Amino acid sequence: MHLLDKRFEFDVKYDVPDRCINCIGSGGNCYGFDPHNVKSCYHCPDGSNALQCSSTRKWHKRRKLIIIGTSVAIAGLLVSIAILCLRYKSPTWLANFGLASKSNQNIEAFLKIHGSLALRRYKLLDVKKMTYNFKVKLGQGGFGAVYKGKLSNDSLVAVKMLSVSKKDGEEFINEVASISRTSHVNVVSLLGFCLEGHKRALIYEFMSNGSLDKFIYRRDENLSPLSWDIIYRIARDIARGLEYLHKGCNTRIFHFDIKPHNILLDKNFCAKISDFGLAKLCPRNESIISLSEARGTMGYVAPEMWSRNLGRVSNKSDVYSYGMMLLEMVGGRKNINGEASHTSEVYFPHWAYNQLELESDLRPDMEMTGKDSEIAKRLAMLVL
């Protein structure tokens, strides 16, 4: 007969006393139980016989305390790190725990090397406060949006919030490195900056009349056109600013993005060069610079930027951009038409040359006095 035959199955009920359950629960063995023996827990881990293994109970209690204590310590450390990061908002702290981007580390390294820069570092909370949480937007550029703000001393500022780029913070470093070295009436002043995680801001002096492009292209019909005296003065201001960048600084600064959008006008229409995101520094005794790629805006970029066969990149590249911008100021329109085909479009300097050769008006769309026409002619000849 097979022992596992189901016909011979039966149930066995066995009651385990509480004393034995406590014994097993404390780590002992309870076989050989004697109901008349109060010390019925045998083979405790320490070799003793007892109703409950006290040494094991103490070890379990000690282990629980160690686990709880370790957990509390780790939690306290993490909370402390979080508080420090939130309080200081420093990429240096974040970098120590692998939370900062490579670009922020590059920027922090640059700021550490140039610790003598007389620029104030603002917290993101301060930037939000001075811009009323980015309420008034002044414009949008290639490197980010610009907002109107006010400092605690009631001074108006323009806050540029840089957009995230893939160039390891190069545009931020270019701006700070370039403008912090300048002090000229025709170069915009940088007052401070903010660097918190992916948020980067540059705080400039406020220029109440905005950028030059809105006066050239006049998309707003209610905007009054600039007089030719003011146009001439703006052209002179920009030339003086460029001369200072190329010859007046201890280190030459090549802007590489001279265009109407980057020329700001104060309340008196004094022109100042801004937006140094593409700028490069060059020793004073050198005028040629090596670039890995062309930089600038189509329509203002010098030919040698695109083809090294036409010459080497130098401060003359800024002069070319300046000339194309002056031609827009004279003609009152963009120097290129994005909707026109390359075969039908006339190169803007050729158009200006033809107008001068034929003694035609450079601005047939507006009435000009003899003095106005003379200023326009002089600027066009300067461009050519």
| Rounded distance between C-alpha atoms, residue 213 and residue 219, angstroms | 9
Question: Is 366 in contact with 379 (CB distance < 8 Å)?
Answer: no
**DSSP letters along 192-212, please?**
EEEEETTEEEEEEE--TT-BT
Which residues make up each annotated binding site for ATP?
160
Active site residues: 257
**Residue 8: φ, ψ to 5°:** -110, 15
Which residues make up each annotated binding site?
160
261 burial type by CB count under 10 A (0-12 exposed, 13-18 middle, 19+ buried): buried
| Rounded distance between C-alpha atoms, residue 336 and residue 320, angstroms | 15
| Rounded distance between C-alpha atoms, residue 78 and residue 88, angstroms | 16
Cβ atoms within 10 Å, residue 281: 14
Question: Is 30 in contact with 42 (CB distance < 8 Å)?
Answer: yes
Token output for 191: 């007052």
Question: Which residues contact residue 272 at a Cβ distance below 8 angstroms, ignoring those fewer than 6 apart?
Answer: 185, 186, 187, 188, 207, 237, 241, 263, 264, 265, 266
Question: Is 321 in contact with 302 (CB distance < 8 Å)?
Answer: yes
| Rounded distance between C-alpha atoms, residue 136 and residue 139, angstroms | 9
